Chain A
């Protein structure tokens, strides 16, 4: 009821102890098309559902390379994503120049968090309107997957999804989480595609134009699979559901986290 009085700028708290501008920024992420991320003991896979504004338009890029060992998937304002990915690229290069070793994923993600927090506390600024899934493979600690949101929270996950209808993807991921650890890259990709398919609207399908896959892992630099190269995975998608089923009950669907 009092939301309208306390939501005009970032530096105003509501009586309930909330910053509504941040919550509105999170809405922008939820409105973007879905991105999915999941990891095994050796690789991280990111998938994006590329939206197109019409028949005549190209599909919006969802995956960005940051460095040989880091890639991101985005959901939300693409222009904000470009600014953040530029920042990440610069930081990775600076780190390599300074310390002669690739930037650790956790450190990079903390830098994003610190940068995003500035916009949640200074008057006149607005939070970034994009959510990032950051995939990295670090030499010592292995694969990592992080979620970075406009509220400046950066958390690590085994599997996660952001964007429109991402809860459906999360439900799939939660169901098969036990199989991800030991899975090989192709199996991981298939799980990711199944999860991504859950986020589609009723009459839509995954095709070589509207999805893209990014992989980074042990001994493999960040690479993307787009266009024709997706065929071999999408064909497998048609032939069936995953073979392993967990026997435990599906977890109750939780309300979308608005923190």
Chain B
């Protein structure tokens, strides 16, 4: 049979052993998202693969949602939590519209999201949120969150399974960290190029990233969506 060590007790009848059952509500559906703020634009990009463990649930489930003409939100983590959180944000934005007769500004949505996340401090939404859009002056804005609502405005951020691969690249190429190039703001074309290259590279090394890439570009003209293929292996 199987190998034994001296003194080990071997029995030939079934033994019952207590197994701890716990409520395990969270599931990681993987995927990667990023957002980069420009001078007068904002880019929010996310892959569309949804996984569970080593399996793929779907090759096309978008992680980003357009909240208004100047705000897009992207969420990674547990897709069920992301979905419900998105619906709650949309409802709150609609109440705001009813009460004030205008769309919520990006900064207002940012603050509200932080409050909403902290309200579930003791049973959190397992979602890594990035809010991208234009601020009231028309400049690009990116707000990053942790699952319980800590938030900050930044120039660029990557979240999700391949964030450790992409974020350093973004720090170097967008914020010119650790190199002698003069700081300057990148054009939309350059930012899109950096975004696409980030994802194609991440797809190579991260198993949870791939299939399709959806890019939301927010400008004063509105929100434009681009979709491109990523490797499906």
Report chain A residues within 8 Å CB of B97: 65
Distance in angstroms from B96 CB to nearest chain A CB is: 12
Q: Which residues 83-138 in A have Cβ within 8 Å of B in the complex? A: 89, 93, 97
Q: Provide the residues of chain B in CB contact with A89, threshold 8 Å.
A: 94-95, 98
Q: Which residue of B lies closest to A224 (CB)?
A: B101
Q: Are B87 and A97 in contact (CB under 8 A)?
A: yes
Instruction: Please give the distance in Å from A141's CB to the nearest CB on chain B.
Output: 24
B172 at the interface (CB under 8 A from A): no
Q: With an 8 A cutoff between CB atoms, is B91 at the interface?
A: yes
For window 98-156 of B, CB contacts with A under 8 Å fall at 98
**Interface size grouping (class) on chain B:** under 10
Interchain CB contact under 8 A, B98 and A97 = no
Chain B residue at minimal CB-CB distance from A66: B98
| Residues of chain A lying within 8 A (CB to CB) of residue B91 | 93, 97
Q: How many residues of A contact B (CB 8 A)?
A: 4
Nearest-Cβ distance from residue A81 to partner chain B, whole angstroms: 13
Chain A residues near B98: list those with CB within 8 A. Answer: 65, 89
- Docked complex Cα distance between A93 and B96 (Å): 13
In the assembled complex, the Cα of A173 lies from the Cα of B87 at a distance in Å of 42
CB closest residue in chain A, given B98: A89
Q: Using an 8 Å CB-CB cutoff, how does the interface string of B196-230 with A read, 1 for contact, 0 for none?
A: 00000000000000000000000000000000000
A102–B204 alpha-carbon span in the complex (Å): 41
Report the minimum CB–CB distance from B98 to chain A (whole Å): 6
Which of chain B's residues have a CB closer than 8 A to the CB of A97?
Answer: 87, 91
Min CB gap B133→A, angstroms: 21
| Nearest-neighbor residue (CB-CB) of A100 within chain B | B87
- Measured CB to CB, the nearest residue on chain A to B95 is A89
Per-residue contact bits, chain A 200-220, to B (CB 8 Å; 1 contact, 0 not): 000000000000000000000
B95 cross-chain contacts in A, Cβ below 8 A:
89
Q: A97–B87 Cα gap in the complex (Å)? A: 7
A219 → chain B closest CB, angstroms: 18
What distance in Å separates the Cβ of A100 from its nearest Cβ neighbour in chain B?
10
A residues in contact (CB < 8 Å) with B = 65, 89, 93, 97
CB-defined A-B contacts under 8 Å, sample of 9: A65-B97, A65-B98, A89-B94, A89-B95, A89-B98, A93-B91, A93-B94, A97-B87, A97-B91
In order of increasing CB-CB distance, the 3 nearest A-B pairs are A93-B91, A97-B87, A89-B98
